[in-house]
Structure 1
């Protein structure tokens, strides 16, 4: 991926940050072969089958994707979210798609019903927060506050 993670490295290797995280003796690296090898057991594991039970328990789920993501394309994600079997599936499928507005600008398309929300973020690739930082911050802030909504499409 052609993203610059150097700001993350600098921030996480700052002595004050490491002290606050309780990891004074560790050095942060963006890509670790050791960690990658340790996580291989979970690589490409289908966890989709567990999501419906979370929704049934009322656990809020936000699926967001950049409209220009070539790794996890928005349409494929949209299709699996719509095809997922759960008690709110039909109402989710019939829910209106609304514009996600940030600073009076259309930043994405949002579909929500109950605990499930799907947001396609405009002009963003695989790393949505890096491509659209303002829209991402607004998305997370609203979602965590239970106020992820926009205007009708």
Structure 2
């Protein structure tokens, strides 16, 4: 069985179908001795007016993302990879993902690709995927959600 060249993989986690697919693929690529770090970046709503509202908003995001992550792990084979969820809290998602990849010495970033209409988005990429892939100093794998007929 071939050994994967990727041992530390960062996955951008937003609980979308594309992120679920990215997480499953990363666990496959990491194989039995790899580590997969799912990074959820919390972004406070611009409509929160007080510190208390902001904290409640962030905690609600954290609970929901954690629940979705736990569900994804329960329904996806880890292939022996060690998988964990980490948190960031910033409006600069691409910068956060790059910093996390550097901190953990990742050798691959896997991101869910949103949006299939290239007329609306250059190259069919959203702003986070575009920024991360343009500025990365390591390989970036962009994956879309699985096709309905693949399931």
TM-score by length of 2: 0.31
Higher relative contact order (CA 8 A, sep 6+): 2
TM-score normalised to structure 1 length? 0.31
* Structure index of larger Rg: 1
